[in-house]
Amino acid sequence: MQKRFVSVLFVLILLFFSPISALTPPPSLESQVNSSNFIALAKLSNVKESKISSNSISVTANVEILKSLKGGKELPQKFDIAFLIFPELFGKWLKAAPQEGDYILFLIKKKVKDSKGVESEVISLYEPHPYAFREYNKQLEENILSLTKN
């Protein structure tokens, strides 16, 4: 009985002290493409980052759509984004605000309710948000385009 207790305690300690990032593996590209309503080559500019606590960062940025790769008819050409980053939760993915530049941006449609309970649909970053951004390269664009055609 005591041996079992020690084993369970050891496993609990390992789980407690193991990196949380192991709990949130990045999705495959195919999964991201299939789960996204919109995918676009976008230019991020005016990126601003504010530390709001010891474990979280608030980010705002301007987005300009350069090229739609999926579902672009409803996507505005320019818009602003705001999101939070929790560096300890997502391993190497987005520990800090993205730099200004070109990214493949994954977006979803999301239902939200206003203060009066009226439901509407908005365009939002892919969730979890750190996986909404991938640095642009031509090969990634071609891979996404081939996945959207299948």
Mention every residue, 6+ apart, whose C-beta is less than 8 A from residue 96: 49, 57, 85, 87
Which of 73, 91, 67, 85 has its CA nearest to residue 125? 85
In a domain, 45, yes or no: yes
In a domain, 12, yes or no: no
In a domain, 16, yes or no: no
Q: Which helix (H) or strand (E) holds 117?
A: none
In a domain, 122, yes or no: yes
- Contact present, 61 and 98 (Cβ < 8 Å): yes
Number of domains in the chain: 1
- In tens, the pLDDT along 23-44 reads 467 788 999 999 999 999 999 9
Which of 92, 103, 97 has its CA nearest to residue 50? 97
In a domain, 20, yes or no: no
Averaged over 11-18, what is the pLDDT?
A: 39
In a domain, 8, yes or no: no
| CATH number, residue 53 | 2.40.50.120
With a cut of 50, say whether residue 5 has pLDDT above it. no
In a domain, 21, yes or no: no
Q: What pLDDT score was predicted for residue 150? A: 65
Q: What pLDDT score was predicted for residue 21? A: 40
- In tens, the pLDDT along 109-127 reads 989 888 888 999 988 889 8
134 lies in which domain range?
A: 26-149
